[in-house]
Copies of this chain bind each other. A is one copy, B any other.
Amino acid sequence: MWYETSLTKILNIRLPIIQAGMAGGPTTPELVATVSNQGGLGTLGAGYMTPEDMRKAIHNIRLLTDQPFAVNLFIPETVKLEEQKVLEMRHTLQPFYDELGIEQPKLPTEWGGQFQQQMEVIIEEKVPVFSFTFGTLDHHWIEKLKVNGTIVIGTATTVKEAKLLEEIKVDAIVAQGSEAGGHRGTFACQAEDAMIGTMALVPQMVDAVNVPVIAAGGIMDGRGLIACLSLGASGVQMGTVFLPAIESGANPLYKKSLMEATEEETTVTIKFSGKAARGLKNAYIERLSDVPNVQVPDYPIQNALTQPLRKEAANQRKGEWLSMWAGQGLRLAQSESAEQIIQRVMGQASQTVQKLKNIEKD
């Protein structure tokens, strides 16, 4: 069984399911390759990876699958270092570092330089699909990608952003609804003005652009897949559902927390990275909220300030200090292999279409 949509055609895949490029560890080559082998599109979340690690991971994916896969990167922004804010945040974070018994990190002297090298890996490796978030992509990269035959997917959280992406000639656009876990892809307005639910966002975006729209946010099973195809999407991007997968590299504490959480237990916070992202509420977020007038430096500065804290918290099994990105569909998360997830989603999808056929009467 396979599905035919404008997305499956351009990606040359059998099922309109993209596994989201979740940065920071979950997207192992095993997860990416399994999703692609099952007929979907696996994505390496390479936002935080060094060019060398990216290249290794891409080679490993290619050892495991001959099917199309994607690599996802973050578009860098101009970094505005406000020294006073950084000093105050270091003061706020010091008790966390003290409890863990480690030193605070030095900040890099240069920001965003890695992106150029990451993009060179994408070009040199001729990856089948390249997806990005946090902005638009410079024309010269788009040209090089097109020469390679790489399919290019951008991320939008509003109709306006989708139109900006269409202008730079992406091949498809992810419509990231407010339910989505992880970082908000918003780049053309304030994040709080772009919290549009998937149900409302997808049809408005579909009406506004001529490229395939990929729905993301709160989609956890075959019911969600068919719902999004109904709205006019040509496919879905699912993240949270793959986090507890056996092949996922997410920390075991993170997987356990996901399986126990409900739809009420996520929040959108800038406190981990300086950029709005949806994750499980926990003690770290609460403690920072208790600091009067706490000012969070912008992304990626705050991310750099908290990164060693989160890494060491994972080592010391302090789940309450980890950034546990998660969408709002949590009660539907299941502990399965990636293959079981895809099979279950497609089985539910078929049942859903069957059910719809019986609802309309003459």
Contacts and interface: CB of A to CB of B under 8 A. Distances in A.
A199 B226 contact: no
A221 B264 CA distance: 28
A332 B204 CA distance: 7
Nearest to A352: B230
B194 A197 contact: no
A217 interface: yes
B218 A223 contact: no
A140 interface: no
B229 A359 contact: yes
A91 interface: no
Interface centre among A179, A227, A262, A327 (most CB of B within 10 A): A227
A178 B197 contact: yes
B353 A357 contact: yes
A218 B200 contact: yes
A147 interface: no
A223 B204 contact: no
30 contacts: A1-B360, A1-B362, A3-B360, A4-B359, A4-B361, A177-B197, A177-B199, A178-B178, A178-B197, A189-B264, A193-B264, A195-B195, A196-B328, A197-B197, A197-B198, A197-B199, A197-B218, A198-B199, A199-B199, A201-B263, A201-B328, A203-B221, A203-B223, A203-B329, A204-B329, A224-B230, A224-B231, A227-B228, A227-B231, A230-B352
A145 interface: no
A344 interface: no
B203 A264 contact: no
Given A200-B327, A220-B200, A356 B359 contact: no
A204 B360 contact: no
A311 interface: no
A277 B251 CA distance: 38
Contacts of A197: 177-179, 197-199, 217-218, 328
Most chain B CB within a 10 A radius of its CB, from A4, A158, A220, A360: A360
A277 B356 CA distance: 33
Interface residues of A, number: 60
Taken together, the copies of this chain in the complex come to 2
Contact of A158 (B203, B215, B220, B264): B264
Contacts of A177: 197, 199
A317 interface: no
Interface in A317-342: 327-329, 331-332
Contact of A159 (B5, B200, B204, B331): B331
A188 to B, nearest CB: 9
A345 to B, nearest CB: 12
A138 to B, nearest CB: 25
A227 B219 CA distance: 12
A41 to B, nearest CB: 17
A69 B215 CA distance: 35
Nearest to A350: B360
Given A177-B197, A201-B263, 8 more contacts: A159-B262, A159-B263, A177-B199, A178-B178, A178-B195, A179-B200, A199-B228, A200-B220
